[in-house]
Amino acid sequence: MLSNPFTDPDWARNTVASIDKWVGFVRDRTTRPVITVVRGIVYGFLVATGVVIMVVLFAIGATRALQAALDTAFSRTTAVWSSYLILGSLFFLIGLLVARKQHRKSDELNS
């Protein structure tokens, strides 16, 4: 409890300590959770952006590498469309596997 400023020489120090305690309490209950959530959103966005960029660069590199490998056996135009066909089929099969693994709400309700 705060004391009388006329009789207590430590009144200013005690008042500042009390205010500091309450400000710290309010900050811990309000600002810190918001900062944690915002950091999670920002870091998640950065990671997602990095993953998308890496996937795109991998697809470009795989296409170029496959075209260079097919250039030894086929003409340039045949190597290009063949690489598109091969990688498109591969991505299609990966998409089918991922779609097959997903859970549907109707499946959960029936079990």
Contact 44, 52 (CB under 8 A): no
In the chain, domain spans: 11-110
d(CA 49, CA 39): 15
pLDDT at 2 over 60: no
Residue 5 has pLDDT above 80, yes or no: no
Measured distance CA(5)–CA(68) in Å, rounded: 85
Distance of CA 53 to the CA centre of its chain: 13
Q: What is the pTM of this model?
A: 0.61
d(Cα 87, Cα 2) in Å, to the nearest integer?
A: 74
CA atoms within 13 A on the CB side of 74: 13
What is the model's pLDDT at position 71? 93
Model confidence over 45-87: pLDDT tens digits? 999 999 999 999 999 999 999 999 999 999 999 999 999 999 9
- Percent of the chain at pLDDT > 70 equals 88
Determine how many CB atoms are found less than 10 A away from the CB of residue 69: 12
pLDDT of amino acid 13: 87
**What was the pLDDT predicted at 109?**
64
